[in-house]
Structure 1
């Protein structure tokens, strides 16, 4: 049995993530931590799973009956609480972005030791995504040349922590992470350089949308866009020398059938992937990594690369210049 504790009792975690964990054999949410003075709200979350409620995050980390923690706090709190959880001997599955800098990921690496620490890029665990990785590796579209990725959806700024810079808000560190994660795994390397432009709608204190080009060298590029101020869109395309693979909804809902479109000189075909809950697949994979001591699908090396690219995009948008990664 892998016994989970949750830091961040949000409605999304209580309705999507925690139930998915419970559906994995031998996995249970056994404890929920409330911020001081908010035990009642967390109690409603915990009651769904017959879990204990702790008054404060430190109390949960001191719970000897918790093996792993899911961290769903604001971006600015991910690294501090990941480090504290690892110091307490807990495995950690942390919402993305794990960190806002590569240096902070290195701090997590140093603290992890023999524990499993993973950034929760949940879509990477969906059977649709696994199938795309297989198709790309098969060579059906030849050598990868161009990646196009877009992820956006309108978000109301009222009461939304994504609009608070002090909490690590902004489109780049939210939906943008997903968009630039696609070329990173597809090309399997860090880009040579990036050039980005951000927009802050209605004078928002954070970037509400962005567009960027990532140069991977040898004519290989990625073009991405993302935002809070338009949408919805959730797609990517992998263009190779002999064809393309397109996913119309890369960040899919658990009840949504998935369609992968493959176009080559031999014609056009579609592969349909049944609906699946990527959070459940993610929890199962994380639990297996804990059980076996093997590296998870999303490694800390991946997270360091992702953070480095995010930093470069922010700097490029600030200066208006190409930024070497």
Structure 2
């Protein structure tokens, strides 16, 4: 584990420890004392720095939850050391960097996967199955909202442009990923309006429209100005599938609600740790030499659309996604 923050030690490390087929071996942090304290807590060893952890012969895979601007470097360094890599979203911030990672992963014959933990919660599969079964008819519209407030002056890295901050690369990529996954393609064009909170240098809220053609669209809003809100809806021609707790926290139940003209019903799903399910899916694929549960092509698609939406909102001009260079 590259990092020892409260987020990492409260959610990711327990998930690794609880996962079948893997164990937590080592942790490294810029704060060596912090790393040692976390290592004592989880019964693993503290490496003096990131480079030492990546070089550790007992480590088979590395989790990279560092600031967005550091994902590329440490993913490439881990691959060069022969490690599989699970990387926090967004995987990278530029399209050219996806190619570098894909080439390095092929050369090393190692798995790289973006850590979109929500995709591994059973409620996502259930919503997709209901849509595929025709419960609400053909999909016409996706509505997705994800917001929670981050205070100015908090020192949060999500407000630092030098570290790849901004609402788009934090909460926005979830909403974009939901829409692209639901339609199983990238949109043709995107447009939006964004807000930069006074005193900040990154977009802190954005509302956008993704046009998938033939009258199919996604309407997204995401923010670090307000909240909380974490819901998406799959609007079909004859009804709506609602996932009201789309990015469920550990210990919270999941579920779906289906509304049609004739009836409304809800399904509650068992409480699960989707961080653990994510780790187990990653580990299983890495051990078997199988394809990634979340292919790099899907991550590149989400990153491209998110960057295009960010640019469209900043310039107040619609962007054609296929021609967008990021």
The 5 A counterparts of 1:233-272 are: 233-272=229-268
* Secondary structure of residue in 2 paired with 1:201: coil
TM-score by structure 2 length?
0.95
Aligned residues: 318
Tell me the residue number matched to 1:225. Answer: 221
Question: What does 1:151-230 align with in structure 2 at a 5 Å threshold?
Answer: 151-157=146-152, 158-230=154-226
> Counterpart in 2 of 1:74?
67
CA displacement, residues 39-80 of structure 1 (integer Å, 9 cap, x when unaligned) = 111111111222111111111111110000000100110111
Give yes or no for contact 1:100–1:310 (8 Å, CA) kept in 2: no
1:121 matched to 2:90? The reply is no
Partner residue in 1 for 2:299: 303
2:95 to 88, 91, 102: 102
Which of the numbers 9, 14, 17 marks the counterpart of 1:14? 9
Please state how far the C-alpha of 1:265 moved relative to its aligned partner: 3.5
Q: Distance in 1 between matches of 2:260 and 2:81?
A: 52
Instruction: Output the aligned Cα RMSD.
Output: 1.0
**Mapped partners of 1:178, 1:318: distance in 2:** 19
Structure 1 residue runs of 5 or longer lacking an equivalent are 1-5
Tell me how far 1:323 sits from its aligned partner: 0.3
Cα offset for 1:212?
0.5
Contact 1:30 1:49 in 2 (8 A): no
Could you list the runs of 4 or more consecutive aligned residues of structure 1 that deviate by over 2 angstroms after TM superposition? none
Instruction: State the partner residue of 2:54.
Output: 61
Q: Matched residue of 2:306: which SS?
A: helix
**Retained in 2: the 8 A contact 1:102–1:305?**
no
State TM-score, norm by structure 1: 0.96
Contact kept? 2:21, 2:280, Cα under 8 Å: no
Normalized per residue, the structure richer in strand is 1
